[in-house]
Amino acid sequence: MKTVAIIGAGITGLSAAYRLRQSQVPVTVYEAGGRVGGVIRTLRQEGYLAEYGPNTLLETSPKITELVRELGLAGRRLDSDPRAKNRYIVRGQKPVNLPDSALLFLATKLFSASAKLRLLLEPFIGRANHEESVAEFVKRRLGQEFLDYAIDPLVSGIYSGDPFRLSIQHAFPKVYELERKYGSLIKGQILGAPERKRRQEVSKAHAKKFSFDEGLQVLPDTLHARLGNAVRLNAVVVGVTQNQEGWTVKFSSGGGLEQEEHAAVLFAGPAYQLPRIQWDTQLPLDMGPFAEIHYPPVASVVLGFRREHVAHPLDGFGMLIPGVEGFGILGAVFSSSLFPDRAPAGHVTLTAYVGGARHPELALQSEEAMVQLTLKDLRTLLGVNGPPTFQHIAVFKKAIPQYEVGFGRFKELMDKVEEKAPGLFLAGHFRHGISLSDSLLSGLQTAEKIEKYFNRLNLNQPAPLFPDTASPTA
């Protein structure tokens, strides 16, 4: 029986493969590297736990909860410490707690009295008649101060991006829809609440944050173990050909070139890899434009300290830093405050981020330079007054796809690709959202589409769920 080929063993490809196998659809996952998980990677060393990429998974959908349960990971799940609920924004070179209620908002020093009064105008501001950047949208509806001290640091924290380049329509579609549907963000929050509740929708701001006892890598490793030999590591796909019987995937493995026949193909890698594959389809496809999607470099700098060498209480998720404050780092996660066993007793772990669209060159300097830059900023912001007892740096030269103004042309191209080449599917953070939860859900939801296609081909003959019992590392 022909399998569905899945290119990429990040969380999108793995979750899609798992869901398809549950539905009796056989799969073959091609991963160019020597491990699964993509940017999800965890290091346990000297009593510290460092995440290379994301630190948490957001429970934005019941599908995520169900997947964790199905995989037998409920007992290893760690919800973030409720005492670490504060989120800090830097103003005047000091972390200021971001208010999470109307009463606290009125009292906060994060925004001036004039900025707070400016919000009273928001329900009366009309809609835009063109595609706006995030900066244009926020300045028009909420004012300059909210752009500088709320949205700019938020954009850096989520996208490592530039609010003057990101599209409000594509980067923050739910916010865009509030204006389009209700004419006002404030009205939309109030009037749209019942509809969001019916959809069981949880916003990212209110979703539970969680990880696992040994970090986020537990999730892709568990999916890998379930999929067994269906995952082929060090298999670089170089060509994909559409024919009357389905699809032929050509790949290099162990120095040789091989090929296999498949019923369908899911591409679940980063967008810039699409043009690197030779696509031979019955109707010509131009994958070249996908190379134009901007992926700025980002570095994760994980540092450990003795607790008495950090003055700040670290009683929160972390801090975000507006560009107008003039620091080198984009922000920092208080990793050991979020989850237990992230640092040895009497120590703390901080994860800072460097680079992004704001300062891409800083993510490409030497590791020592990044550590010194991070230490300089943490001394000022958190009162760090001692040397690091642990350090780990991970650099992603192409980190997060930027949904910039005009990104709609890429989305239209994705739709056209699937229309012109039935049986070819595209999924991942370049299409359905850049968060870890978005990428996971992209895999699950695309698997449902592939299953329907597979069944229409009458290829759904009975197959064991997990016939490969060999170790995924064998």
Q: Tell me the CA end-to-end span of the chain in Å, nearest whole number.
A: 24
Alpha carbon 194 to its chain's center:
28
Q: Are 204 and 435 in contact (CB under 8 A)?
A: yes
How many CA atoms are closer than 13 Å to the CA of 195, on its beta-carbon side? 9
pLDDT at 207: 86
Any residues with CB less than 8 A from the CB of 279 and at least 6 apart, and which? 239, 240, 285, 287
pLDDT at 201: 63
Cα–Cα distance measured from residue 106 to residue 95, given in angstroms and rounded to the nearest whole number: 18
Q: Are 342 and 367 in contact (CB under 8 A)?
A: no
Task: Quote the DSSP letter at residue 422.
Answer: T
DSSP string, 207-240: SPEEEETT-TTHHHHHHHHHHGGGEETT-EEEEE
Cα separation values, 384 from 338, 348, 350, 381, 409, Å: 19, 11, 11, 8, 46
Ordered per-residue pLDDT tens for the chain, 474 residues = 799 999 999 999 999 999 999 999 999 999 999 999 999 999 999 999 999 999 999 999 999 999 999 999 999 999 999 988 899 999 999 999 999 888 888 889 999 999 999 999 999 999 999 999 999 999 999 999 999 999 999 999 999 999 999 999 999 999 999 999 999 998 888 887 777 677 666 677 778 999 999 999 999 999 999 999 999 999 999 999 999 989 999 999 988 899 999 999 999 999 999 999 999 999 999 999 999 999 999 999 999 999 999 999 999 999 999 999 999 999 999 999 999 999 999 999 999 999 999 999 999 999 999 999 999 999 999 999 999 999 999 999 999 999 999 999 999 999 999 999 999 999 999 999 999 999 999 999 999 999 999 988 864 444 333 333 333 332
Q: Are 363 and 187 in contact (CB under 8 A)?
A: no
| Residue type present at position 2 | K
Q: Are 18 and 240 in contact (CB under 8 A)?
A: no
Cα–Cα distance measured from residue 355 to residue 72, given in angstroms and rounded to the nearest whole number: 37
pLDDT at 36: 98
Q: What is the dihedral of CA 435, 437, 442, 448, to 10 degrees?
A: -170
Q: Are 1 and 246 in contact (CB under 8 A)?
A: no
Cα–Cα distance measured from residue 350 to residue 95, given in angstroms and rounded to the nearest whole number: 15
Domains and CATH numbers, the chain: 3-39+217-293+403-456 (3.50.50.60), 43-83+296-396 (3.90.660.20), 111-123+131-198 (1.10.3110.10)
